[in-house]
């Protein structure tokens, strides 16, 4: 038995945030009915064709779901969704701001029909306020949350290389649903949940926000280094490659000084505590790289590991796909898709008494006829258009 067996979720979802939340629920056994535009489906299906003709984002986010194609601009399409939601446990939606309410699919109306319903809305900036109707894409929210301002090099800011604002809001929607399910077991009542991308990502900005508010200045952009910890980040070795360090406390610093062959560095007035090491980071880097020049990066990493000092070598995506730790722990599984068998990592939370669901990726509208029949909705309710 999986933890969420028997839970039915209807999702008016597109792109990343809501699909990420619902795929994690599907991983735990929930039934996820994905409402898509007829013919074209979720526009994330068209982002690229890199996974044997499928889009890499869509493949990542949409396994184990059932696809129902409905035209939400038609009365019949809206009525079909309402009929599905009447028998569902959860509705998740990340349509354009205000669209769900205009379609008669807002929390107030749907929860009046189904008081046990958990209604989840994900938006860019939340309801109310001057930004409530502003378009919100991941990069733009990264900018508004200040993340881009502290990411990158001294010369140029940079966005994070993954859709981190979408992922943050999807994670909070996912955990919000789980919380509401527990609450409903105790009270019998559903819930109305709202998650904004800005507020989700702003929560993750806690360190730099506190640093700026109370320190008088934002953390500097330092590339892969750290604005408030030293030594931390990449250090060049004799073969021109880099090894990455993460010294977290004074005990580790003293151990590292011994590793460098200079235990007296731990008492050097420039480096005696972390804030001073940050202040004199250029001098510290010269000392460390002076020692590392005698070795290749792989050899430095081996020696650091023996000494118990946190380290890493920089891996590419190919390196991640072949990571020995993931292989040793059996984290890969195969599953089906419209283009054949694919390979993916199982969810990171391991439960001893359940197995993650790794169901197929659906074609657009693949389950429309069967699900409408199951829920007693006439198949002619659908009209090929979109929402």
Instruction: Write the pLDDT tens digit of every residue in 208-261.
Output: 999 999 999 998 898 888 888 999 999 999 999 999 999 999 999 999 999 999
The per-residue pLDDT for range 305-314, each reduced to its tens digit, is 999 999 999 9
More confident residue, 386 or 369: 369
261-270 contact pairs (CB < 8 A, 24+)? 261/291, 262/287
Quick one: DSSP state of residue 322? T
143 with 275, same domain: the answer is no
387 pLDDT band, cuts 50/70/90, is: low
Q: Is 27:356 a contact under the CB 8 Å cutoff?
A: yes
CA distance 39 to 146: 38
**What's the length of the chain?**
387
Full domain range(s) for residue 285? 242-313
The per-residue pLDDT for range 133-174, each reduced to its tens digit, is 999 999 999 999 999 999 999 999 999 999 999 999 999 999
- pLDDT recorded at residue 170: 98
Residue 224 lies in a domain: no
289 with 338, same domain: the answer is no
Whole-model pTM: value is: 0.89
Helical packing angle, 164-187 and 197-204, nearest 10°: 100
68 with 117, same domain: the answer is yes
Residue 338 lies in a domain: yes
Q: Would the CA dihedral through 200, 204, 206, 209 be positive or negative?
A: negative
128 with 270, same domain: the answer is no
Mean pLDDT throughout 350-377?
A: 94
**381 has a pLDDT exceeding 50:** no
Domain count, the chain: 2
197 with 333, same domain: the answer is yes
166 with 288, same domain: the answer is no
262 pLDDT band, cuts 50/70/90, is: very high
CA-to-CA dists, residue 279 to 105, 212, 223, angstroms: 55, 17, 17
Q: H-type helices in 145-246, by residue range?
A: 147-150, 164-187, 197-204, 206-215
Mean pLDDT throughout 23-27?
A: 97
196 with 294, same domain: the answer is no
Q: Which percentage of the chain shows pLDDT scores above 70?
A: 98
Residue from 360, 364, 318, 367 nearest 340 by CA:
360
CATH number for the domain that contains residue 298: 3.30.1540.10
CA distance 282 to 285: 5
Residue 301 lies in a domain: yes
Q: How many Cα atoms occupy the beta-carbon half-sphere of 338 within 13 Å?
A: 18
β-pairing, 342-345 vs 332-335, is antiparallel
54 with 140, same domain: the answer is yes
CA distance 44 to 218: 35
**331 has a pLDDT exceeding 50:** yes
Q: Is 333:358 a contact under the CB 8 Å cutoff?
A: yes
Q: Which of 287, 313, 339 is the last residue of a domain?
A: 313
Mean pLDDT, the chain, whole residue set: 94
For 324, the token pair is: 């020995």
253 with 109, same domain: the answer is no
Q: Which of 285, 313, 341 is the last residue of a domain?
A: 313
Q: Which residues are catalytic?
A: 226
Mean pLDDT throughout 6-32?
A: 97
142 with 198, same domain: the answer is yes
Q: Is 233:242 a contact under the CB 8 Å cutoff?
A: no
Q: How many Cα atoms occupy the beta-carbon half-sphere of 370 within 13 Å?
A: 6
**281 has a pLDDT exceeding 60:** yes
Task: Give the strand order in the sheet containing 65-69.
Answer: 65-69, 31-36, 8-12, 90-93, 118-123, 191-196
Strand partners, 69: 36
336 with 305, same domain: the answer is no
**380 has a pLDDT exceeding 70:** no
Mean pLDDT throughout 271-291?
A: 95
Strand partners, 354: none
State the CB neighbour count (10 A cutoff) for residue 194: 15
**80 has a pLDDT exceeding 90:** yes
- pLDDT recorded at residue 302: 95
Residue 222 lies in a domain: no
Strand partners, 36: 69
């Amino acid at each position: 038995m999986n933890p969420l067996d028997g839970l039915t979720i209807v999702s008016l979802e597109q792109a990343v945030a809501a699909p990420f939340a619902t795929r994690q629920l599907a991983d735990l056994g929930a039934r996820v009915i994905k409402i898509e535009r007829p013919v074209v489906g979720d526009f994330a299906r068209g982002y690229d064709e890199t996974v044997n003709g499928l889009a890499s984002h869509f493949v990542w986010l949409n396994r184990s779901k059932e696809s129902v194609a409905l035209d939400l601009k038609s009365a019949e399409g809206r009525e079909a969704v309402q009929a599905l939601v009447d028998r569902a446990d959860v509705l998740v939606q990340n349509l354009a701001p205000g669209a769900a309410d205009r379609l008669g699919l807002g929390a107030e109306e749907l929860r009046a029909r189904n008081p046990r319903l958990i209604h989840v809305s994900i938006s860019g900036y939340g309801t109310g306020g001057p930004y409530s109707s502003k378009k919100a894409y991941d990069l733009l929210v990264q900018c508004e949350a200040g993340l881009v301002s502290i990411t990158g090099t001294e010369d140029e800011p940079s966005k994070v290389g993954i859709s981190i604002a979408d992922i943050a809001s999807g994670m909070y929607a996912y955990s919000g649903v789980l919380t509401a399910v527990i609450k409903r077991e105790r009270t019998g009542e559903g819930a109305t949940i709202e998650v904004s991308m800005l507020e989700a990502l702003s929560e993750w900005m806690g360190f730099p926000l506190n640093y700026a508010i109370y320190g008088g200045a934002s953390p500097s952009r330092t590339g892969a280094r750290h604005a408030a910890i030293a030594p931390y980040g990449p250090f060049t070795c004799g073969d021109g490659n880099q090894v990455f360090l993460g010294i977290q406390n004074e005990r580790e610093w003293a151990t590292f000084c011994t590793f460098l062959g200079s235990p007296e560095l731990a008492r050097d007035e420039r480096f005696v505590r972390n804030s001073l090491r940050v202040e004199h980071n250029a001098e510290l880097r010269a000392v460390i790289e002076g020692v590392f020049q005698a070795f290749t990066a792989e050899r430095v990493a081996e020696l650091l590991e023996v000494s118990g000092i946190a380290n890493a070598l920089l891996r590419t995506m190919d390196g991640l796909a072949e990571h020995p730790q993931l292989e040793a722990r059996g984290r890969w599984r195969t599953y089906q898709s419209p283009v054949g068998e694919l390979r993916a990592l199982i969810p990171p939370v391991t439960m001893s008494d359940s197995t993650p669901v790794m169901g197929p990726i659906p074609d657009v509208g693949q389950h429309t006829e069967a699900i409408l029949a199951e829920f007693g909705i006439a198949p002619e309710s659908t009209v090929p258009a979109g929402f």
